[in-house]
Structures are given as C-alpha cells and as structure tokens.
Structure 1
Amino acid sequence: MYNVLVADDHAVVRSGLSYLVNQQPNFKVVDEEANGTATYLRVEQGGIDILIMDLSMPPGESGLITTQRIHERFPKVRILILSMHEEQEYINKAIHNGAMSYIMKSSSDDELLKALKSLANGENYIDANIIMTKTDVQEINSDGVDVDLKGYNGLSKREREVFPLIALGYSNKEIAAKLFISTKTVEAHKANIMHKLALKTRADLIRYAIHHELIDF
C-alpha cells in the first residue's frame, strides 16, 4: 500500500483527488495540505510514499522550491506535480528540482492514474500532452544553479522554512507556533537570513522573494 499526500490550495481539488486516488488498489491518501510549508512539515513527519502537489499554493512558498527541499531531504518520496502551469519553464524546473512526474490539470484522470502507477514502479512519467525537446532535457539535466540564488541556497533547512513566513508577514510568535520552535530561535534565524542574503529590512526580503519567485501570493 502506497501512502499518498495530496497538496493543493483548493479544498474541492484535494477532495476530488483524494476520492480518485482512494479508488485505486494499493493507494491510500493519508493526509491533505494546502500550502508548501505545511506540505514540507507533513513529509518531515514521515509515512509518505507519494506526494501529489500543485505548484501554486498561495500564500506561501513556491511549489518549485518546496519540490526541491523535499527532494533534497527526502529523496525516497516520489513527487507528482499536478499543475495548471503549461509553460515549459515550469515543467523543466519542477523535474530538475526532483519531481518524478508532471501532469497538467487540464488533462484527463487517466493521465494522473498512469503517473501514479509509474511512480509506484519507480518510473518517471510526463503528461502525454507535454512535448519534451532535446533542449528541455538539457535544461533538466543541467546544474541549474542560479547565480543570484547562491545566497538563498546557502540558507539552512530551517532558515528556508522561516523565509517564506517572514515574507508573508507572519509574526515571530506565529512562525514559532507553526514550526514548533521558540520565538528566540525564530529571531536568530531571521538575523541569519538577513545577513546571508545581505538584506536590511523585511521590505528588502519581500522584494528578493518576489524577484526570484520564491513565494506565491
């Protein structure tokens, strides 16, 4: 039995996906989440084999970043992106960042089910409606390190969790409650983030996050 986590910011989509997945033998939806931060924290708790996740779940961390963080820390979790984004740039980045499958929301249920079965067999699956060129494959297999993101990539795991919450305006107390840490620890992480990214104010941090597409509003 494969334990599945469904992540989408729309409750009706989560409900529909959960119903569809639970109808399939050997697959069971064990939890649902509505944003990137909560999704990462749930995966961190363990017991997830397959993650079906949207790329845009505002307000919060970009799904591309969540995909990368989960893949880096929990490589055994098989990630299936289900998104309305049909732009090749999103598809390439998602796969480069660790997604094993990319399905468009405009596709039929059959595409999602084919992807699930492929992931269960440890195989990648790209929506049949997506055409991959040699250039796309090269982009996916490239180092893909954005020079401008070297500072962000240098943040610790916990600092990357704190970062989008700061950008979205959560107070230290609210961040501490969400991440189950003390407010002093939050303050320390904030100071480290600002120092590593050479930022002076929260406004600078918000501009940085928006410019590099690290969060969705």
Structure 2
Amino acid sequence: MNDPVAEDCIAVLVLDDHQMVIEGVKTLLKSQPKIRVVAEANRGADALQQLLRHPEVQVVLTDLSMPQMSGLEFIRAAREVNANLRIVALSMFYDQASVTDVLSAGGCGYMLKSLSPEELIQAIEQVAAGHTYFSPEVGSMLLQNMELASLRPTPATDAPVPLTLREREVLELISREYSNHHIAEKLFISERTVETHRKNILTKTNSKSIIGLIRYALRHKLIQ
C-alpha cells in the first residue's frame, strides 16, 4: 500500500499507453519532494478506476492518442468523476484544433512530450495552483492565431452580446486563468454557480472554447 500523500504534496496520475513514457515522467519527478506520482495507467478505463481508488489525485497527465478510449474521451469522463481535476494533455504533436479540443473537453494545459524536466515541474505546479499551462511552442501558436484573428475584419452587425455584471466579473477572472474554485472564492459564490455562469457566457457569445471566448472578449473590448 502506498504511503499517504502529505497535504502540501501534489498528487499526480499519469496515463499513457506507452509504459516508457510513464516511467520517464516518474523518473523526472522522482527527486521532487512536493510532487508525487500516486497512480498510473495505460488505458483510459483503468485510469478512471485509479481516480476512484486515489481521490487525492489533483493533476492528471494524459496522452491524447490511445486505443479504445482517446485522451479527449478520458478528459470528459474524468471530469465527471472529479470536476476539480486539473488535466494536462501530453502529445508529440500540436495544432489549433487539438489544443482547442482539449480545452473544450475540460483540460487546462497542453504539453509536448519533448519537454524538459524543469518545464514538467513548472507545468504541474502551475495547473495545481489553478492556472493553465502550455508548452512554449503551443503558447506561441495560440497567441499567433489569436493575433491573426483579431486583424480580420468583422461584420458591422457583430455587436457584443449583453452580459450581466456578474458574468462580466466571471469573464474577467477566466481571462486571468482563474480556476472555477478560485473564481468562487474571489466572488463569494459556489463553484456550481461559477460553472453555470461559464456555460451561459460561452452560450451567449457563441464560443466553443475558452480560447474562443477570450478572443471574443478581446475583440469586443470586454477585457483589457
């Protein structure tokens, strides 16, 4: 039986159909006293079972290309098991659609498997603190695409939809990478209420992802 995880230690689950990747991640994190891999799995279904056995898991690192259950399918299912999980995709490749799909499914980061030990540690610490994390190459691609989109002319009828004061507050905190938990604490409301506001904002703005929402908000000057 595994020793209990200290309160100040970040509990991690690693999911990848290649055991060598899992062993590599464990090796990189072995010397980190504040991060501990408490569970691992080679299939999505097994990882879901591990989440039930290890409710202390805070951060999940998951591959995207896996048989039987894809990484995206796992992210959606894992969020049903624990809505507070911080899930980061690990992949050899990246593109706008893949990153957007991960964020839409409930992920909070996207990293390349060529990452350095320092980057892996920084990513886990950052997402555990309620922020998002992208490998530098991924972040640059997203920023470039957002800048290009902001330069495209928009129809004159593309007026911003009216948002309530509370929705504007939630939108501002989303743009600052606050998690639902931290938004709830900041605004003194429940996480369920935050999630409801988040869904309403996405619906009102016709945004398919958080990246799309932020792009919309910047275009209409709803955030600075």
Q: Tell me how far apart the structure 2 counterparts of residues 50 and 21 of structure 1 sit (CA, whole Å).
A: 13
- Pick from 110, 122, 135 the counterpart of residue 127 of structure 1: 135
Residues 63 and 71 in structure 2, CA contact (< 8 A), matched pair in contact too: yes
Residues 117/86 of structure 1: CA separation in 2 closer, same or farther (3 Å cut): same
Matches within 5 A, 1:38-187: 38-45=46-53, 46-58=55-67, 60-130=68-138, 131-132=141-142, 133-134=145-146, 138-141=207-210
Stretches of 4+ aligned residues off by more than 6 angstroms: none
* Whole-angstrom distance in 1 between the partners of 2:115 and 2:56: 29
The separation in 1 between residues aligned to 2:208 and 2:133, in whole angstroms, is 17
After superposition, the CA RMSD in angstroms is: 2.2
Deviation at 1:39, TM superposition (A): 1.0
Give the TM-score normalised by the residue count of structure 2. 0.58
- Structure 2 equivalent of residue 16 of structure 1: 24
Tell me the matched-pair count: 142
The whole-number CA distance in structure 2 between the counterparts of 1:92 and 1:107 is: 20
Map 1:192-207 onto structure 2 (within 5 A): none
Task: Kindly indicate whether the alpha-carbon contact (under 8 Å) linking 2:91 and 2:111 is maintained by their aligned counterparts in 1.
Answer: yes
Task: Specify the alignment match of 2:3 in structure 1.
Answer: none
Kindly state the Cα deviation for residue 90 of structure 1 after the two structures are TM-superposed. 1.2
Larger deviation: 30-39 or 20-29?
20-29
The percentage of aligned residue pairs carrying the same residue is 29
The question of 1:26 aligning with 2:95 is answered: no
Contact 2:87 2:108 in 1 (8 A): yes
CA distance in 2, matches of 1:80, 1:17: 13
Letter in 2 for 1:38: D
Query: 1:8, 1:57 within 8 Å by CA — same for their partners in 2?
Result: yes
Displacement after TM superposition at 1:38 (Å): 0.9
Which structure 2 segments of 5+ residues have no match? Answer: 1-8, 150-174, 176-206, 214-224
Greater relative contact order, per chain length (Cα 8 Å cut-off, separation 6+):
1
Deviations along 1:156-208, one digit per CA (max 9) or x if unpaired, are xxxxxxxxxxxxxxxxxxxxxxxxxxxxxxxxxxxxxxxxxxxxxxxxxxxxx
In structure 1, the residue corresponding to 2:137 is in which secondary structure?
Answer: coil
Q: Aligned-pair distance for 1:108? A: 2.8
What TM-score, normalized by structure 1, do the two folds share?
A: 0.59
